[in-house]
């Protein structure tokens, strides 16, 4: 079977799974959702088939598993968002249309030779920095949950950091491909850019109050630097600098300090000062409220979960128990309803995606392609780890989206562009191999 | 570069694998611990999707039922208590914001169908697989609605408690506590409960005074002292005492005048008269003669120094005994650490729950054998089949049948011609003992009455306590005990 036919077969399976998800939400919540929900799966299936046709036209030799996996993840995400809030699911559906548009556009524009991008690397780098700084512009940026990550045009909100991530990877792939030999020699002056990026990441962190994004950008940078130079020493140095910088920020920025305290001690037996309302409360009723409630949600799922549509997310009065459920905490909603069996399977899909991504990087035969694929794949893995690891208390919790699953337009668009990038690299590598 | 990529791939895959491990930890290992946490509302709200079992009185009167509510597309079963404050302390409440109390808390496994009974497990698993509503088991209490209502009416406006036990089984028939609260208000209007005022301070309406309220037992404790005196063979009902109006302890006079029930001087009396008229000097001398250790030993046989047994949560029950600075005091050498004379007539930092004193009366009535109190008679499944049935259980023998017989006659005397005449019921012999304990405030007493009837073939044992009274136990508490006893005796033919 050819790669694209295999992709189509996989997409049919994904379509059936999505239909089953919507059907079970419909059965569990008949009086809240309408029969129209059953047609949604058909709608998404049509979308994916359209994306598949574009791929068939532009990247015929590309990996046949990535698009179906992305489809499965978005399907799971949109089903859960639909279960939590049908209106949001409708919006998310629109964003998926936009994202697949961006996906198709990326493929159509770049499928002849994406390596042209290399000559525009500085443009990408500057755009990325511009996007990152955007939320800090007065009047344009919005602070959500203590971190300035959003910009708004009227009622439209957009998180430019998501797209900046992809642009930054393109820049780094180009830059590191060019400089890898001199960097590997380890002359002091070549470390200028490294320090510059380190400073940039710290600046972003201080400016946006966001530990998660800083960790993400810096992690991507170190990973790509290691692949380019093969020097573990740089990774160690970079990590050391990051820790030193983070420690400094920890002392300077109260928001970051709070996050760490919450991470280490989410529960207290005694009342502590609560900055939100100025009262004395146990920490689980104040600062660590979100983390703790989300952990309860995860724990409540147990082995098999409550079943799609049967989870508990509201009080008996109908108030939300967990804030930001369909964005930052969608994993804890899924964990409750699908149980360990369900979310372990979900994480295995992420693992497969990551494995395929690294395989593409191995098969690619030029440095730029390798670095691009590595960057995109590792960004995907690290972002998943930062948000889910935060929910599971492996690291301090920071609000970033779960790729393909969380509610949020910018995230879905950026991740489909990321997917397009991987398909482009894969297509080229496989085509040359034939 | 491929070597680096392979290594980095391991890191990337390792990161996601770590997430699977962490998820496994939270969803299996940590689940039980998190489910028990007080602030875990998810766990509590989730239980509202279970159609909780009903709680009924012995006659089938519904004490706790469910109100269906649709929230965000799910059917929740919220609790409703049709009898309001009548059974509040024993039934308790099940809410989202304030968790659970009473039987709603301690019998939660039955009420939510999560007990290990094979039939329940089968039913709930089938329901779960079919996606049907899980139904809990019903509790059938041993309590008598009529007598309970009467006891609560008798206590209206007062602070106090009434406990009635079936002497032969230990079944709780009445467990009244005032002031009470409406459990329907706990979820949404808790401030209304906080604002309840009464004739005592603090009013503590949520406190189950029957099992968790500690009161100086005063002269009702003389039944325990007399048990020790007779059962050890040191004294007989005919033992003679000379009452000069006081008893000398440690060179000090302990005067009868301190006893509001019997302040006068009686001269030469026997033990029977001593109990009938509640003469302090008689018991003071008994205490000196047999010692504090023996008295406490007999108190323990009646259940002192243990949480009074009942199905309600352990934190709603308190052991009776000597208290020192708010904590249960277990003297290592009672004969030197405890004043035996004052202990003998129920002062000396001695505190007891009404249930404990009802157990004392019940033990004497049941020929010396104390029965284990219980209030859940049986548990039935959603189909009506019996899941579990409580069988009466002997807690232990406190005194010999002969001692019990002698004590019964003496207590009958107390009602016929002593301090407890207000408890007389025509045609029925009542055995009882009054108690009027000083509170430290002049003219304010804790007024007790414990009794059982009929004396020849005992069926019911009752303890009544009233806080902050101006009247003696024989005046204010005995009539309440009488009324409740009459209600129980009248209901005997149709239980």
> What's the average model confidence in pLDDT over A126-134?
81
With an 8 Å Cβ cutoff, are B1 and A370 in contact? yes
Disruptive mutation site among B10, B68, B73 for chain A (greatest number of A CBs within 10 Å): B73
pLDDT at B90 over 90: yes
pLDDT at A154 over 60: no
Searching chain A, which residue's CA lies closest to the CA of residue B46? A312
Query: What's the pLDDT at B465?
Result: 96
Q: Cis link prior to B451 (omega < 30° from 0)?
A: no
Any chain A CB within 8 A of the CB of B31? yes
Each residue of B154-207: pLDDT tens digit? 999 999 999 999 999 999 999 999 999 999 999 888 888 888 888 887 889 999
With an 8 Å Cβ cutoff, are A295 and B31 in contact? no
> What's the average model confidence in pLDDT over A218-241?
86
Contacts of A389 (CB under 8 A, 6+ apart): A395, B15, B18, B19, B22
Task: Tell me the pLDDT band of B31, cut-offs 50, 70 and 90.
Answer: confident
Structural tokens at position B452: 């059982």
Q: Is residue B87 part of a domain?
A: yes
Any chain B CB within 8 A of the CB of A320? no
pLDDT at A90 over 50: yes
Q: How far does the CA of residue B186 sit from the closest CA of chain A (Å)?
A: 14
> What does the DSSP assignment read for A182-232?
HHHHT-GGGGHHHHHHHHHHHHHHHHHT-HHHHHHHHHHHHHHHHHHH--H
Contacts of A376 (CB under 8 A, 6+ apart): A166, A169, A357, A418, A421, A422
Any chain B CB within 8 A of the CB of A130? no
Out of B9, B20, B49, whose CB is closest to A347?
B20
Q: Is residue B254 part of a domain?
A: yes
Max avg pLDDT among A122-131, A185-194, A313-322, A346-355: A346-355
- Rounded Cα distance between B22 and B35, Å, is 18
With an 8 Å Cβ cutoff, are A385 and B15 in contact? yes
CB B136 within 8 A of CB B50: yes
- Rounded Cα distance between A367 and A380, Å, is 20
More confident residue, A154 or A8: A8
Task: Tell me the pLDDT band of A42, cut-offs 50, 70 and 90.
Answer: confident
pLDDT at A85 over 90: no
Q: Smallest Cα–Cα separation from B180: which of B162, B200, B204, B164? A: B204
Query: What's the pLDDT at A320?
Result: 80
Q: How far does the CA of residue B462 sit from the closest CA of chain A (Å)?
A: 41
Out of A310, A340, A355, whose CB is closest to B23?
A340
Out of A29, A301, A316, whose CB is closest to B45?
A316
| Pairing between β-strand B394-397 and β-strand B62-71 as defined by DSSP bridges | unpaired
Any chain A CB within 8 A of the CB of B37? yes
CB B455 within 8 A of CB B412: yes
> What does the DSSP assignment read for B107-166?
THHHHTT-S--HHHHHHHHHHHHHTPPPB-PEEEE---HHHHHHHHHHHTTS-EEEEEEE
Any chain A CB within 8 A of the CB of B121? no
Secondary structure E strands in B354-483: 369-371, 376-380, 386-389, 394-397, 431-438, 445-453, 460-469
ipTM of the complex: 0.91
Together in a domain, B305 and B453: yes
CA atoms within a 13 Å half-sphere pointing along the CA-CB vector of A75: 31
Out of B6, B16, B42, whose CB is closest to A347?
B16
Q: Is residue A302 part of a domain?
A: no
Q: How far does the CA of residue A111 sit from the closest CA of chain B (Å)?
A: 24
Structural tokens at position A203: 């600046």
With an 8 Å Cβ cutoff, are A32 and B78 in contact? no
Q: Is residue B484 part of a domain?
A: yes
Any chain B CB within 8 A of the CB of A269? no
Q: Is A212 left (phi over 0), alpha (psi -120 to 50) or beta?
A: alpha
Any chain B CB within 8 A of the CB of A339? yes
In chain A, the number of structural domains is 1
With an 8 Å Cβ cutoff, are A306 and B70 in contact? no
Out of B6, B25, B96, whose CB is closest to A315?
B96
- Rounded Cα distance between B106 and B87, Å, is 15
Searching chain A, which residue's CA lies closest to the CA of residue B132? A28
Q: Give the count of Cβ contacts less than 8 A between chain A and B.
A: 169
Together in a domain, B469 and B345: yes
Chain B residue numbers with beta carbons less than 8 Å from the beta carbon of A317 are 71
Contacts of A14 (CB under 8 A, 6+ apart): A45, A48, A68, A71, A72, A75
Q: Is residue B79 part of a domain?
A: yes
- Rounded Cα distance between A331 and A347, Å, is 10
Max avg pLDDT among B34-38, B199-203, B381-385, B444-448: B444-448
Together in a domain, B59 and B178: no
Any chain A CB within 8 A of the CB of B191? no
Chain B residue numbers with beta carbons less than 8 Å from the beta carbon of A392 are 19, 22-23, 25-26
Out of B3, B42, B187, whose CB is closest to A312?
B42
CATH label of the domain that carries residue B361: 3.40.710.10
Structural tokens at position B307: 């949480």
Query: What's the pLDDT at B495?
Result: 43
Task: Tell me the pLDDT band of A162, cut-offs 50, 70 and 90.
Answer: confident
Q: Average pLDDT over chain B, rounded to whole?
A: 90
Any chain A CB within 8 A of the CB of B493? no
Chain B segment 54-93 residues within 8 A of A by beta carbon are 69-74, 76, 78
Searching chain B, which residue's CA lies closest to the CA of residue A288? B39
Q: Is residue A362 part of a domain?
A: yes
Out of B13, B27, B35, whose CB is closest to A303?
B27
With an 8 Å Cβ cutoff, are A384 and B16 in contact? yes
Task: Tell me the pLDDT band of B271, cut-offs 50, 70 and 90.
Answer: very high
Chain A residue numbers with beta carbons less than 8 Å from the beta carbon of B22 are 389, 392-394
Chain A residue numbers with beta carbons less than 8 Å from the beta carbon of B25 are 392
With an 8 Å Cβ cutoff, are B73 and A29 in contact? yes
In chain B, the number of structural domains is 2
Q: Is residue B341 part of a domain?
A: yes
> What's the average model confidence in pLDDT over B460-480?
93
Q: Is residue B22 part of a domain?
A: no
* Triad B281, B283, B288: Cα angle to 5°: 95
What is the H or E stretch that residue A273 is in? strand A272-273
pLDDT at A150 over 70: no
Q: Smallest Cα–Cα separation from A13: which of A56, A51, A67? A: A67
CA distances from A234 to A237, A240, A329 (A): 5, 10, 34
> What's the average model confidence in pLDDT over B407-413?
95
Together in a domain, B302 and B416: yes
3-state secondary structure A44-95: HHHHHHHHHHHHHHHCCCCCCCHHHHHHHHHHHHHHHHHHHCHHHHHHHHHH
More confident residue, A251 or A11: A11
- Rounded Cα distance between A104 and A96, Å, is 12
Each residue of B64-84: pLDDT tens digit? 999 988 876 778 899 999 999
- Rounded Cα distance between A370 and A229, Å, is 13
Searching chain B, which residue's CA lies closest to the CA of residue A361? B5
Q: How far does the CA of residue A228 sit from the closest CA of chain B (Å)?
A: 7
Structural tokens at position A355: 């494995």
* Least confidently predicted of A118-122, A314-318, B30-34, B106-110: A314-318
Q: How far does the CA of residue A31 sit from the closest CA of chain B (Å)?
A: 6
Q: Is residue B339 part of a domain?
A: yes
* Least confidently predicted of B5-9, B43-47, B48-52, B416-420: B43-47
CATH label of the domain that carries residue B83: 3.90.1310.10
Residues of chain B with pLDDT > 90, as a percent, come to 66
pLDDT at B116 over 90: no
Show the domain range for A230.
3-261+321-433
> What's the average model confidence in pLDDT over B306-329?
93
Can you name the residues that pair with B352 across neighbouring β-strands? B215
With an 8 Å Cβ cutoff, are A374 and B8 in contact? yes
Together in a domain, B316 and B288: yes
Show the domain range for B120.
47-141
CA distances from A354 to A104, B10, B15, B327 (A): 22, 10, 10, 62
With an 8 Å Cβ cutoff, are A299 and B96 in contact? no
Q: Average pLDDT over chain A, rounded to whole?
A: 84
Strand, coil or helix: what is A140? Answer: coil
Chain A residue numbers with beta carbons less than 8 Å from the beta carbon of B77 are none
- Rounded Cα distance between B172 and B175, Å, is 7
Residue written as token pair 């397009």 = A420
Q: What is the Cα gyration radius of chain A? A: 22
Together in a domain, B345 and B322: yes
Together in a domain, B455 and B314: yes
Together in a domain, B105 and B206: no
CB A378 within 8 A of CB B47: no
Q: How far does the CA of residue A212 sit from the closest CA of chain B (Å)?
A: 15
* Least confidently predicted of A63-72, A170-179, A205-214, B471-480: A205-214
Q: Is residue B404 part of a domain?
A: yes
Together in a domain, B364 and B469: yes
Each residue of B245-269: pLDDT tens digit? 888 887 777 777 777 777 888 889 9
More confident residue, A158 or A388: A388
Structural tokens at position A417: 């562009």
Q: Cis link prior to B454 (omega < 30° from 0)?
A: yes
Any chain B CB within 8 A of the CB of A133? no
* Least confidently predicted of A155-164, A394-403, B193-202, B471-480: A155-164
Contacts of B188 (CB under 8 A, 6+ apart): none
Query: What's the pLDDT at B494?
Result: 47
Together in a domain, B357 and B404: yes
Query: What's the pLDDT at A144?
Result: 58
Strand, coil or helix: what is B215? Answer: strand
Chain A segment 220-249 residues within 8 A of B by beta carbon are 223, 226-228, 230
Q: Is residue A97 part of a domain?
A: yes
Query: What's the pLDDT at A129?
Result: 80
Out of A31, A300, A392, whose CB is closest to B42?
A300
- Rounded Cα distance between A125 and A370, Å, is 18
Chain B residue numbers with beta carbons less than 8 Å from the beta carbon of A27 are 131
Q: Is residue A229 part of a domain?
A: yes
DSSP 8-state class, residue A255: H
Together in a domain, B271 and B362: yes
With an 8 Å Cβ cutoff, are B4 and A230 in contact? yes
Together in a domain, B98 and B210: no
pLDDT at A145 over 60: no
Residues of chain B with pLDDT > 70, as a percent, come to 98
Any chain B CB within 8 A of the CB of A48? no
Chain A residue numbers with beta carbons less than 8 Å from the beta carbon of B12 are 354, 358, 377-378, 381-382
Contacts of B178 (CB under 8 A, 6+ apart): B152, B155, B156, B157, B158, B159, B160, B161, B198, B209
| Pairing between β-strand B386-389 and β-strand B327-328 as defined by DSSP bridges | unpaired
């Amino acid at each position: 079977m050819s790669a694209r036919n295999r992709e189509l077969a996989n997409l049919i399976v994904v379509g059936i799974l999505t239909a089953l998800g919507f059907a079970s939400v419909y059965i569990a919540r008949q009086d809240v959702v309408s029969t129209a929900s059953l047609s949604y799966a058909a709608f998404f299936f049509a979308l994916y088939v359209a994306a598949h046709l574009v791929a068939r036209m532009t990247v015929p030799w590309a990996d046949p598993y990535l698009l179906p996996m992305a489809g499965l993840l978005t399907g799971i995400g949109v089903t859960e968002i639909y279960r939590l809030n049908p209106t949001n699911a409708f919006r998310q559906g629109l964003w998926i249309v936009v994202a697949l548009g961006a996906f198709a556009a990326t493929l159509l524009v770049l499928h002849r030779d994406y390596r042209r991008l290399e000559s525009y690397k500085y443009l990408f780098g500057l755009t990325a920095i511009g996007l990152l700084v955007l939320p800090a512009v007065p009047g344009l940026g919005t602070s959500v949950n203590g971190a300035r990550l959003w910009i708004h045009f009227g009622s439209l909100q957009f998180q430019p950091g998501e797209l900046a991530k992809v642009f930054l990877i393109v820049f780094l792939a180009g830059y590191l491909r060019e400089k890898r030999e001199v960097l590997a020699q380890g002359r002091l002056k070549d470390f200028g850019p490294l320090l510059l990026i380190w400073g940039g990441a710290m600046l972003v962190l201080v400016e946006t109050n966001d530990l998660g994004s800083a960790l993400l950008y810096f992690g991507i940078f170190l990973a790509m630097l290691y692949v380019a130079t093969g020097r573990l020493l740089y990774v160690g140095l970079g990590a050391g600098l990051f820790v030193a910088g983070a420690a400094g920020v920890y002392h300077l920025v109260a928001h970051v300090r709070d996050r760490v305290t919450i991470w280490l001690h989410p529960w207290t037996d005694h009342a502590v000062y609560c900055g939100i309302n100025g009262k004395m409360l146990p920490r689980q009723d104040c600062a660590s409220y979100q983390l703790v409630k989300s952990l309860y949600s995860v724990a409540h799922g147990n082995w098999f979960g409550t079943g799609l549509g049967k989870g508990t997310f509201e009080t008996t009065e109908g108030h939300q128990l967990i804030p930001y459920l369909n964005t930052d905490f969608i994993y804890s909603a899924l964990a409750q309803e699908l149980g360990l069996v369900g979310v372990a399977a979900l994480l295995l899909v992420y693992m497969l995606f990551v494995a395929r991504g690294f395989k593409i990087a191995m098969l690619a035969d030029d440095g730029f392609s390798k670095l691009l694929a590595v960057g995109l794949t590792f960004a995907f893995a690290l972002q998943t780890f930062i948000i889910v690891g935060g929910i599971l208390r492996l690291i301090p919790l920071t609000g970033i989206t779960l790729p393909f699953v969380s509610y949020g337009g910018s995230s879905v668009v950026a991740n489909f562009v990321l997917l397009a990038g991987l398909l482009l690299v894969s297509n080229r590598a496989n085509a040359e191999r034939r | 570069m491929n070597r680096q990529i392979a290594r980095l791939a391991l890191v990337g895959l390792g990161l996601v694998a770590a997430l699977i491990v962490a998820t496994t930890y939270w969803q299996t290992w940590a689940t039980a611990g998190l489910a028990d946490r007080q602030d875990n509302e998810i766990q509590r709200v989730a239980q509202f999707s279970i159609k909780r079992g009903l709680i009924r009185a012995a006659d089938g009167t519904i004490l706790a039922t469910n109100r269906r509510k649709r929230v965000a597309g799910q059917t929740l079963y919220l609790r409703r208590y049709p009898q309001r404050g009548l059974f509040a302390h024993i039934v308790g409440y099940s809410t989202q914001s304030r968790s659970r109390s009473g039987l709603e808390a301690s019998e939660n496994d039955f009420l939510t169908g999560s007990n290990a009974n094979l039939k329940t497990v089968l039913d709930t698993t089938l329901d779960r697989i079919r996606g049907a509503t899980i139904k809990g088991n019903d509790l059938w209490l041993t309590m008598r609605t009529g007598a309970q209502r009467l006891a609560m009416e008798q206590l209206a406006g007062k602070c106090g408690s009434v406990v009635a036990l079936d002497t032969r089984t230990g079944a709780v028939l009445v467990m009244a506590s005032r002031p009470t609260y409406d459990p329907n208000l706990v979820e949404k209007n808790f401030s209304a409960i906080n604002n309840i005022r009464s004739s005592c301070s603090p009013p503590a309406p949520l406190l189950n005074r029957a099992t968790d309220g500690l009161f100086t037992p005063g002269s009702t404790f003389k039944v325990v002292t007399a048990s020790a005196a007779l059962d050890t063979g040191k004294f007989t009902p005919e033992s003679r005492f000379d009452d000069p109006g006081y008893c000398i302890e440690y060179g000090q006079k302990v005067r009868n005048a301190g006893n509001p029930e019997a302040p006068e001087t009686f001269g030469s009396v026997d033990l029977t008269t001593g109990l009938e008229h509640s003469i302090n000097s008689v018991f003071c001398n008994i205490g000196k003669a047999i010692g504090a250790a023996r008295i406490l030993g007999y108190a323990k046989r009646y259940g002192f120094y243990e949480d009074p047994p009942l199905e309600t949560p352990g934190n709603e029950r308190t052991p009776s005994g000597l208290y020192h600075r708010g904590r249960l005091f277990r003297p290592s050498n009672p004969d030197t650490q405890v004043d035996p004379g004052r202990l003998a007539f129920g002062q000396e930092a001695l505190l007891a729950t009404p249930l404990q004193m009802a157990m004392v009366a019940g033990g004497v009535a049941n020929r010396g054998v104390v029965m284990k109190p219980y209030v859940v008679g049986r548990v039935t499944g959603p189909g009506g089949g019996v899941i579990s049935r409580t069988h009466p259980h002997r807690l232990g023998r406190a005194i010999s049948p002969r001692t019990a017989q002698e004590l019964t006659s003496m207590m009958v005397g107390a009602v016929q011609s002593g301090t407890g005449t207000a408890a007389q019921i025509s045609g029925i012999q009542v055995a009882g003992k009054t108690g009027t304990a000083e509170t430290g405030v002049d003219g304010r007493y804790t007024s007790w009455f414990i009794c059982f009837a009929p004396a020849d073939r005992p069926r019911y044992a009752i303890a009544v306590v009233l806080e902050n009274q101006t009247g003696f136990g024989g005046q204010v508490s005995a009539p309440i005990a009488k009324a409740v006893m009459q209600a129980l005796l009248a209901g005997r033919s149709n239980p």
